[in-house]
Every structure is written in C-alpha cells, then in structure tokens.
C-alpha cells in the first residue's frame, strides 16, 4: 500500500510540474508586455497581407495561363483567309494575355514587321506588369517580418536587463528568463511570417515566368505566321 501511495504522489507531482511547464502561445504573447503584443499584431497584419496577395495573384495567374489550344490555329486560319476582323473578335472574346498580344499584332498587320514586333513587345511589358502586381510586396514582407521580430526580441532583452539594473543586480533569474524567452516569441513569429511570404513570393515568380514564356512562344508563332507565304 505504501508503494502505491508513493507512486500516486509521484504521479501527482509530475502532473503538477508538467502543468506548470506548459505555456500556450497566447500566454507567451500576453506575458511579453505591450511592446511584444504590438509587434505580434503587426506581424499578424503582415501575414494577412501576404496571404491575401498570394491567393489573389495565384488565381489571377492561373486565369491568365488558361487558353484554348486551338486559339492560334483559329488565328492562323483567319489571317490566312484575310478575315482580320474575325481574328480581332476572337482575341477580344478570349480574356488572356496571349489573346491581347495577338490582338495587338493583328491590328498592326500591313505595317512593317519591326513595328508589329515592337507593338507586341510593348503590350507584353504591360501584361507582365499586370501579372506582377503587388508581388513585390511579398518580397518586402519576407525581408521585413524577421527584422520586426528581431526588434521585438531586442526590446525584450533591453527591458529584462533594465529590470536587472533597476534592482541593483538582485533580480530573480526566473523573472529575467521568463521575460527573455517570451520576448523571443516575436522572433519566431517574424521568421514564420517571413518564411511564408518568401515561399509565396518564389512560387508566384515561378508561375509568372511560365505565363511569360507562353506569351513569348505565342508571339513568336504569330510573327512566324506573318512571314509565311500566302
């Protein structure tokens, strides 16, 4: 009986110790003081902005990459048959960067090939700008979020050492350690936001490059069409 009683007491002590060591993320944020709370809120706003831009751009790029495989074949038939108005209508009905570039080229048919090429390139520049809209904000968030997190940690360290200096070096190590590791939660939050924004930025750049490559391929195909003998 004594052995079982000792085991029960040990289990209760272990449970109480584990409960004391358990600390939720909310507790870490709240116990960090006003500065930590403000910085965490700023990082949450940055995270929301990064996620909004990522999903808004990913849907826009996905829509821009969709185009009928027979689109250029239909354009070829219209141009070869001299039905330029039909080709323009087809381009207007197709909402994609490739169709808008093609429409720009069709509207310049009859002019020197260099002028047509220049018009397509200028239109392509505008389309790329539309695809990359707000993507640079993700790069800014990816770089700024970790620095903001480090700022919160530095502030927490300063406050901890200020408390030590104010107490004449008699401050308890427990209170100092608690303040320091709580302040370091801002660094963790900053790194998490920065990593998410960085991954999102690189993914968007990769998807944008694929759309740009498709635009260039179709532009070359259209120019080759104009060089074909009628």
38 CB neighbour count, 10 Å cutoff: 14
pTM of the model: 0.75
What pLDDT is stored for residue 181 in this prediction? 65
What are 8-26's pLDDT values in tens digits?
A: 554 444 444 444 455 555 5
Domain ranges in the chain are 27-59+69-224
What are 116-158's pLDDT values in tens digits?
A: 888 888 888 888 888 888 888 999 999 999 999 888 777 777 7
Mean pLDDT of the 195-223 span: 88
What are 162-172's pLDDT values in tens digits?
A: 666 666 656 56
199 pLDDT band, cuts 50/70/90, is very high
């Amino acid at each position: 009986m004594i052995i079982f009683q000792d085991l029960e007491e040990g289990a209760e002590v272990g449970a109480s110790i584990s409960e004391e060591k358990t600390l939720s993320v909310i507790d870490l944020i709240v116990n960090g003081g006003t500065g930590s709370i403000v910085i965490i809120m700023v990082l949450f706003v940055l995270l929301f902005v990064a996620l909004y831009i990522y999903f808004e751009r990913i849907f826009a790029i996905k829509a821009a990459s969709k185009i009928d495989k027979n689109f250029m074949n239909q354009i070829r038939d219209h141009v070869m048959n001299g039905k330029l108005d039909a080709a323009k209508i087809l381009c207007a009905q197709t909402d994609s960067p490739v169709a808008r570039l093609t429409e720009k080229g069709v509207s310049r048919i009859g002019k020197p090939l260099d002028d047509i090429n220049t018009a397509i390139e200028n239109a392509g520049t505008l389309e790329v700008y539309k695809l990359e809209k707000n993507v640079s904000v993700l790069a800014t968030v990816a770089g700024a979020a970790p620095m903001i997190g480090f700022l919160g940690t530095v502030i927490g360290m300063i406050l901890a050492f200020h408390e030590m200096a104010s107490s004449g070096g008699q401050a308890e190590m427990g209170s100092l350690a608690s303040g320091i590791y709580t302040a370091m939660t801002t660094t963790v939050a900053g790194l998490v936001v920065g990593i998410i924004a960085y991954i999102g930025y690189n993914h968007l750049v990769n998807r944008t490059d694929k759309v740009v490559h498709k635009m260039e391929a179709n532009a070359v195909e259209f120019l080759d069409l104009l060089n074909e003998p009628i």
